[in-house]
Structure 1
Amino acid sequence: MRPAAPTNPWFPTRQPNPNARLRVFCFPFAGGGASVYTGWGAALPAGVELISVQLPGRERRIMEPPFRQIPPLLDALEPVLAPLLDKPFIFFGYSMGTRVALALAQRWKVRGAPMPLGMVMAAAGAPHRPRDSRDDLDDPAFIELLRKYEGTPAEVFAHKELLDMVLPVLRADFALADAVLPALPVSCPISVFGAHEDPHVPLAEPRALARADHR
């Protein structure tokens, strides 16, 4: 019996598809891990391989320090992505994940590297617009902000040890989400999704991203 291939910590849920004609790289929201996209692959056509990106500091990588700035994150991410760019691919990002995906595409555009066929961005505004940073909030104010987002399980707030463990990761992720990117075209189609009911990303924000010139 052939031994199983070692799991890459950046793509722990990946199920290689040798017949794939297209790969979809998924980048999670702040605090999210690769598991948030579990099940998506089964809903895609047989010729599409889904690859969910696992950033340090969460799930199986919980003991690794998270990245607080986009450039060093890209420096670490590019070498592990490189072997998987031998087939056409697209990026999907949700909230914070849109910053990472767009920053990668901008970097590759400048270098003349292979570009995604398209990018799908959800719950995010135009990343070249400055926004108020949440990095200066003290812990009580930051915890109150997390409660308003309603994305952190109640049991995390109920156990100080658990909260102390996840706060550095969430703070790092919010720093990534607040990063301002240059207004640099990426020369690929971008599909943007927002919601009327989203209290944190008004529709004017994704509309601004949709109107931006990325060609």
Structure 2
Amino acid sequence: MTWLRCVEPRPWASLRLICLPHAGGSAVFYRTWARETGPAVEVHTVQYPGRADRMSDPLVADAHQLARLIAAAVAPLTDRPAALFGHSMGAVLAYEVARLLQERGTPPVHLFVSGARPPHDRGDERISERDDDGVVAALGELGGTDAKVLQDEELRELVLPYVRNDFALIENYVHRPEPRLDVPVTALLGDADSRVDPDHVAGWRAVTGAEPFKVEVLPGDHFYLVPRQSEVIAEVLRTLEVPVGP
């Protein structure tokens, strides 16, 4: 099964945007983004194994291994300028993928990291070690819709294994300081995020030697980018100097 989903292929597009979902997330999280980016951008979304149409594929428990697999899948798309956008767990994975692409000589033109602490400041919370009710409660605290879905016992049985795997993957992640990224970074977050604040995201400045670096704060919780999708995409397009609108 392939790693990337593209709901609207645009072979004429001058730029590609590759999106990485949060812990427990799937490619469907970004399904409506292509509609708003306009014809100049082709949107691809990573589909992690063990969920959705990849339910039968084995989970990957190590962030560095997962990043290597994603980078290998993304590499053929770098024949055109490409930017990476990652939310929460996806932000750290996008950072690692960016470093791997940089090592191959095809770095992304920009890295957008959303709702995430920097890779060298991960905190010590261990959601993956909670019981099932505790994991569901944590999802509810983050503001996602997954917690409501997981009230159904049958769905819990299907979904909790990959949700728990993802939390463990990011909680066990250990940052390696080299090689340093040489790609511009924009860090975004919601002003009511219970686990990430502007001081945290400002720490992303330390991971790159490139300019510009920017922090963008929007109204909302950890999943601010759902109700604020248009504003997030507009910021991405402005940063990449792509005209807004169709």
TM value normalised by structure 1? 0.86
Unaligned runs of 5+ in 2: 210-246
Asked if 1 retains the 8 angstrom alpha-carbon contact of 2:113 and 2:188, the reply is: yes
The residue that corresponds to 2:183 in the other structure is 188
Asked if 1 retains the 8 angstrom alpha-carbon contact of 2:85 and 2:112, the reply is: yes
Asked if 2 retains the 8 angstrom alpha-carbon contact of 1:13 and 1:34, the reply is: no
- AA of the residue aligned to 2:56: M
Could you list the per-position Cα deviations for residues 153-178 of structure 1 after superposition, in whole angstroms to 9, with x for gaps in the alignment? 42422x22221221111011112332
Could you list the per-position Cα deviations for residues 70-124 of structure 1 after superposition, in whole angstroms to 9, with x for gaps in the alignment? 1221333233222211111000011111111111122333x34210011111111
The residue that corresponds to 2:240 in the other structure is none
Q: Are 2:193 and 1:198 aligned? A: yes
* 1:63-212 mapped onto 2 (5 Å cutoff): 63-109=56-102, 111-134=103-126, 135-151=128-144, 152-157=146-151, 159-178=152-171, 179-184=173-178, 185-209=180-204, 211-212=205-206
- AA of the residue aligned to 2:83: I
Asked if 2 retains the 8 angstrom alpha-carbon contact of 1:99 and 1:176, the reply is: no
1:190–1:155 distance in 2 versus 1, CA, 3 Å:
closer
Indicate the percent of aligned positions where both proteins have the same amino acid.
30
Distance 1:201 1:105 in 2: 22
1:208–1:15 distance in 2 versus 1, CA, 3 Å:
same
Distance 2:70 2:203 in 1: 28
Distance 2:176 2:59 in 1: 23
Output the aligned Cα RMSD: 2.0
The residue that corresponds to 1:52 in the other structure is 45
Unaligned runs of 5+ in 1: 1-7
